[in-house]
Amino acid sequence: MRKDGNKVAIVTGASRGIGAAIARRLAADGFTVVVNYAGKAAEAEALVAEIETAGGTAIPAQADVSDPAAVARIFDAAQAAFGGIDVLVNNAGIMKLASLADSDDALFDSQVAINLKGSFNTLREAAKRLREGGRIINLSSSVVGLSPATYGVYAATKAGVEAMTHILTKELRGRNITVNAIAPGPTATALFLDGKPQAVIDTLTKAAPLERLGQPEDIANAVAFLAGPDGGWINGQILRANGGII
């Protein structure tokens, strides 16, 4: 049974990783899903086809979230195709690690552009356009609390996302729209795994008391709770979904 029939969700960065798991789960829960991606059109289109084959409704929507005009076009496309937008999942993100001493301008600028400005771009549109009863779920990271060396710029962008989460909650007073963030710990996607020595992966796999890496579906489960009927009283919270690493 579809428990959220007729609701429309935009998931940014949904061509793979956590975003793809979120899109798949929200579609299974009955949301119509806009599958945003930056470059990987084939992956996004394959996911849309998979959702449609399973009986769901989805469309792909290319946009670099750091481009405000491109973000506005996703919202325009969703409104034109489906009549409105109920849920924004702000998932698109990149991670580049270096000590602050070794962080060059490109490392700083790219993460600020995609993680912080990209989230701002989508939050601004969502604040203007989400229907009454809507839900906004931002992706932060548990490194905001863990503060590990080399994560300085990345964690700073996510701390900014958490700040906007709290503030937008207040700005949307009276519209019955919740704004929350999920802060995953190490999760088995390209963002986490690529470029890490196996020994580091092994250490981080055992770091949480539950002694495994998060899977994209673990994060999608938490997003589905916040987006669905059971999450309606949760507002302005940062939910760390990380197996207890912090």
Q: Is 139 in the site for ligand NDP (CB under 6 A)?
A: yes
Which of the residues 154, 164, 181, 224 is marked catalytic? Answer: 154
Q: Which is nearer to ligand NDP, 142 or 235 (CB)?
A: 142
Query: What is the chain's length?
Result: 246
Per-residue x/- track, 10-29, ligand NDP (CB under 6 A): --xxxxxxxx----------
Walk across the sheet containing 8-11 and list its strands: 58-62, 32-37, 8-11, 87-90, 135-139, 178-184, 238-241
Distance, CA of 241 to CA of 80 (rounded, Å): 34
Q: Is 191 in the site for ligand NDP (CB under 6 A)?
A: yes
Supply the minimum distance, in Å, between the C-beta of residue 207 and ligand NDP. 12
Closest CA to 82 of 61, 54, 68: 61
Q: Is 141 in the site for ligand NDP (CB under 6 A)?
A: yes
Active site residue 154: yes
Q: Is 60 in the site for ligand NDP (CB under 6 A)?
A: no
Contact indicator for 135, 117 with CB cutoff of 8 Å: no
Closest CA to 112 of 125, 88, 95: 95
DSSP state of 229: G
Distance, CA of 239 to CA of 246 (rounded, Å): 11
Which range in 26-34, 129-137, 181-189, 227-235 contacts ligand NDP by CB under 6 A? 181-189
Q: Is 207 in the site for ligand NDP (CB under 6 A)?
A: no
Which range in 51-59, 90-98, 125-133, 164-172 contacts ligand NDP by CB under 6 A? 90-98
Distance, CA of 203 to CA of 145 (rounded, Å): 18
List interacting residues with ligand NDP (CB under 6 A): 12-19, 36-40, 64-66, 91-95, 114, 118, 139, 141, 184, 186-187, 189-192
Would you please indicate which residues are annotated as catalytic (active-site) residues?
Answer: 154
